[in-house]
Amino acid sequence: MTKTNIDTRARIPSQTRGDPREADRRLRRNAERYTTSGRRLLLVGVAAAAIGGAMALIGSAGSWLVAAGVMIAWVAAVPTCAGIALLLSAVVSAWAGRRRPFA
């Protein structure tokens, strides 16, 4: 067994970590991207749910219109949930971009 010397270990230079201001800019840029995508998905999901709900209300009991409206409203939950998740990620990213990272 050889003895390892502390000085011979590889060190991570501080330049590889990057400037904290650059990380803040990236976080704010990501927050803007997440916000625009989240709003679009949320708008699509709400619009599809409204259309599906209107179709379900217009159709009579047992009509194919009711079934199609319920299916459209059910499928609209996917982009709505994705939009909400992106908006929450944008909030966290914007918060972290304005404040000093804790790690």
On the question of pLDDT at 19 being above 50, the answer is yes
| pLDDT one-digit tens code per residue, 41-87 | 999 999 999 999 999 888 877 788 888 999 999 999 999 999 999 99
The confidence score (pLDDT) of residue 16 equals: 46
Would you say the pTM of this structure is higher than 0.95?
no
Element (H, E) at 26: helix 20-58
The one-letter amino acid at 8: T
In the chain, domain spans:
20-94
